[in-house]
Amino acid sequence: FLLSLKLENETNGKLRKQICQVVLDHFEKQYTRELGDIWTSVRDVLTYPLCWQYAVLLNKFSLSTELENTLSVRGYHPTFQGPLPYLPASLKCYIRRTPGRFPAQKHQSGKLKEYYLLNAASLLPVLALEVKDGEDVLDLCAAPGGKSVAILQCASPGQFHCNEYDDLRSRWLKQTIESFIPDPLIKLITVSKLDGRQIGDLKPELYDKVLVDAPCSNDRSWLFSSDIQQATLRLLQRKELSSLQFQLLRSAIKALRPGGSLVYSTCTLSKAENSDVINLILNSCHNVIPVDISAMAKAVSQEFTFLSGMQQHELLVLPEKGRAWGPMYVAKFKKMKSI
C-alpha cells in the first residue's frame, strides 16, 4: 500500500512534517484504550517518519539483474523467505532493516518501471488471497494500484477487474497499471469507476478471488494532516467508515463465486474498522466462513510484528523500530458452495 508521497520524509534532514495535534489526541484516547501499553511504541514509529522503511517490489515485466545487485550492495534482502503457504517465485520484494527510501522512478509514457516502493505489510493481503493462473479476480478498491501490480507479479488471472470509485484515484490507478504492466496484458485488465457497494448486484458470482482493500482511516497520513479543519471533519466522519466497509464487503461477497475466497484489508489500527466489521459480516452473512491465515503470519514473523490475541482468520501488523511496517489489518473468508 503506497504511502502518500507528500508525507514521506527523506533521511537527508529535510524539514519534518508537522504532527496534527487534533488527530494525535484522538488516536491517543482510542488506541490507548484498544492497544494498552503497545500503543506507546507504535505511536513512536508513526509520529517519526525518519524511522519509516520502504520495500522495493520488483516488476517481473521489466526485470533487471543490475537492480537486484544494487539492492544487495545497499543491504537489502528478500522480504519473504521460509515456508509460506503461498509464495510465487515471480514475486520479488526487498527490504532492509535501516530506514530510508530507495529513489522513486518517475512515470514515463511507453516505458515500464522496474520497481514499486511500498509498505511491505501491504503485500500480506496479496499473499493471503493466493491468486492462481486463470482465476477471475476483482480488486474492489484498487487505487493507487500497488496491490493490483503485486497480484500480477504472482499470477496471470483470467479476468482481472480493478475498480476505483474516486475519480482522481482512478486516474492514479490507470497510470500505475500503465507504468508496470506491458501492453498485451493491459488488454486483459478492466479498470472501472463503479460504486463498490453496487458491484455485487451488477456482477453477481463472477469472481474466484476478491480483494477489498477498503477505504479507512489511514493512521500514518492522518497524523500529518496539514489542514486542521479537514482533519477534524475526517475524525467526525470516522464512525461512518465501518458502515461503508460493511457494505463493500456485502457487495464483494455477492460478486464472489461459491467456493471463492475474499480478503479484506485496511491500513488502520482501529478495531471498529477491522475486527468489528469482520465479526459483523460473519454474524450476518451465513454463506461465508473464516479462513485460517495464521500459518502465513507465522512464516513472516521474522520481518513483521503482529498484535497477539487475534483470531486465526485475521492479523494486524504493528509498526516498530527496525520493522516499521504497517499498520495493516488482514482478514480472509470463503464463500460456501450451495448445497
146 is in an annotated binding site: yes
Cα 211-217-222 angle, rounded to 5 deg: 130
299 is in an annotated binding site: no
Helices (H), the chain: 21-35, 38-46, 65-73, 124-129, 146-154, 167-180, 183-186, 199-202, 219-222, 228-255, 275-284, 294-299
Residues involved in catalysis: 267
Burial-class residue 88 by CB neighbours within 10 Å (0-12, 13-18, 19+).
middle
Kindly state the DSSP code that residue 158 receives in the 8-state scheme.
S
143 is in an annotated binding site: yes
144 is in an annotated binding site: yes
* Grid cell of 250 as nine digits: 456485502
* Grid cell of 238 as nine digits: 470516522
* Grid cell of 125 as nine digits: 493481503
8 A C-beta contact, residue 22 and residue 235: yes
**Residue 265 three-state SS:** strand
141 is in an annotated binding site: yes
Diameter of the chain measured on Cα atoms: 62
Cα separations in angstroms, 335 against 39, 207, 292: 35, 11, 14
* Grid cell of 80 as nine digits: 519473504
8 A C-beta contact, residue 126 and residue 151: yes
195 is in an annotated binding site: yes
319 is in an annotated binding site: no
147 is in an annotated binding site: yes
8 A C-beta contact, residue 61 and residue 185: yes
Residues at the binding site for S-adenosyl-L-methionine are 141-147, 164, 195, 213
Residues at the binding site are 141-147, 164, 195, 213
